[in-house]
Amino acid sequence: MPSPHLPRPEPKTPPTRPVLADDPPRFLLLEREVEIAYRPQMLAALQSKVDAFAAAARGTAPVCPQCGQPMRCPDTREVSWLARCGCLHAPVSRYRCPPCRYECRPGRISGALARLLALLATVAPYPLAARLAWLLLGVTISPMGIWRVAQRWGEAAAHHTDALSRYHADSRSIGAPTQAAPSTVVLGVDGCSLGMQVHSKRRHRKAGETLPPLPPIEEGRFREVKTGVLLLPSERAETSPGRRSVVPRFLGTCLGDADAIFARLYAQLRELGWVGAHTMVVIVGDGAEWIWNRATMFVRRCEILDFWHALEHAWEFAQLRYGEGSAQADRWVHELAEDLRAGKVQGVIARLKRVRPKTPELRESLQALIRYYTENAGRMRYDEYLRLGYGIGSGAVESAHKQVVHARFRQAGMRWSEAGARRLLALRRLLLNDNWALLDRLRMVSLAH
């Protein structure tokens, strides 16, 4: 009998390769047969509707959206559209505005298919989205075609968001009814960096040659994506025993503009009807001045310094004083955290002032910690915040960074133009806010204008 500690002898019969079925399952064959049988009928029915619409629209000159003047029709030509059931054809007139030279050029992809392709680009890189388009929709399209569709829909979504922010910034605007406005709304804001492109012109491959590598990202070639989260503390759910999480939330993003992120969050509050005369807006931040300077736009507000950011500053001093990874540093920060959670911030500051550092570096770190706690003491009444159910951490906005930015924008080798990042952020925001149906009511804009 072989010892259990020695490798067992190989069996004499060689392993057999897994056997694949000769034919696909019957239900897959039926599904394909139905799809093949009914696709020509669907295409013919849709083609007849397109012909009827083209005949009704013929001879009706549109109005220029820029100057309001009637547009002229220089020519009419046969145009093809790519739809899910096949290729459509119709005579389409091209209209041109002589004063401002604006042109209405017919599209090449149907609106419904374009929205599905933009959805794929919102969740996956463009080459992968092109492969998914074939696997899921049966449509052959290049990654550049996916990019064009996503840019056009992203520009439309970005225009709508900006217009909504401008509308609600006007004191004469009308928001949603506030009779059922909640008593408390939590607003979390933070920023994360995004690598930007360093070349001014797009690289083009000629005669099959290999593209040169991208230059390294230089200092200053990063932009900050500011993300905001709106949630109701009353809707906390217990996701696991002893762990509570806020599930319903609404996200807002912008590329580097602090005023814009607060304007968008305020517009979202009014759209939801979440801000009334008696609503307390709880702002959770990491201590950055741009957050507190703009929090004054809310009359009834409560500013909270994120508890874990407050502990990070304490950890920096403790590791410098006791050594990195030491048990004494861990014990010192743990005691300080218990006092901060109990609302004893003034006692913590007094205790820190009694510390006598031995080196200039330690003295400078201690003074920075005392200054940080002193400036934010009014935002560190954690015992009161916990009693009221506000929460004391910015985990919701940190999670939003991962979902909005990291999952799509910070994959290996990704660098973004300002316009491309802004447009895709607008689409990503619609998707994560469960508001993708808004694209059904928007018009896909042209990138040329």
Q: Which residue type does 122 have?
A: T
H or E element that contains 44? helix 26-57
Which tens digits make up the pLDDT trace of 29-40?
Answer: 566 666 667 778
d(Cα 403, Cα 395) in Å, to the nearest integer?
Answer: 12
pLDDT of residue 424: 95
The Cα–Cα gap between 199 and 47 comes to 44
Q: How far apart are CA 354 and CA 138, in angstroms?
A: 71
Tokens coding 182? 């909640």
E strand residue ranges, 232-364: 236-240, 243-246, 249-255, 280-285, 301-305
pLDDT for 82: 72
CB 363 within 8 A of CB 287: no
8 A C-beta contact, residue 224 and residue 321: no
User: 118: closest CA among 446, 431, 441?
Assistant: 431
Long-range contacts from 17-24, C-beta under 8 angstroms, 24+ separation: none
Looking at residues 218-236, what average pLDDT do you find? 80
Q: What is the DSSP code (8-state) at residue 274?
A: -
The pLDDT of residue 449 is 44
Q: How far is CA 294 from CA 61, 277, 378, in A?
A: 47, 19, 17
Per-residue confidence at 283, pLDDT binned at 50, 70, 90? very high
**How far is it, in rounded angstroms, from Cα 295 to Cα 307?**
18
> Cα-flanking dihedrals φ and ψ of residue 229, to 5°?
-130, 135
Helix (H, G, I), strand (E, B), or coil: what is residue 269? Answer: helix
pLDDT bracket for residue 72 (50, 70, 90):
confident
DSSP 97-118: -TTT--EEPPPSB-HHHHHHHH
Q: What is the DSSP letter of 141?
A: -
CB-based contact 227:192 (threshold 8 Å): yes
- Tell me, what's the pLDDT at 206? 66
User: What is the model's pTM?
Assistant: 0.75
User: For 325-371, how does the pLDDT look when each residue is reduced to its tens digit (9 = 90+)?
Assistant: 889 989 999 999 999 999 999 999 999 999 888 889 999 999 999 99
pLDDT at 7 > cutoff 70: no
- Mean pLDDT across the stretch 198-223? 64
Instruction: Give the least confident one: 56-60, 184-188, 295-299.
Output: 56-60
Any idea how long the chain is?
449
Comparing 435 with 233, the larger pLDDT belongs to 435
The Cα 341–Cα 84 span in angstroms is 57
Q: Position of tokens 């954690």? A: 382
Structure-block tokens of residue 374: 């002193």
Q: In the prediction, which pLDDT does 236 show?
A: 65
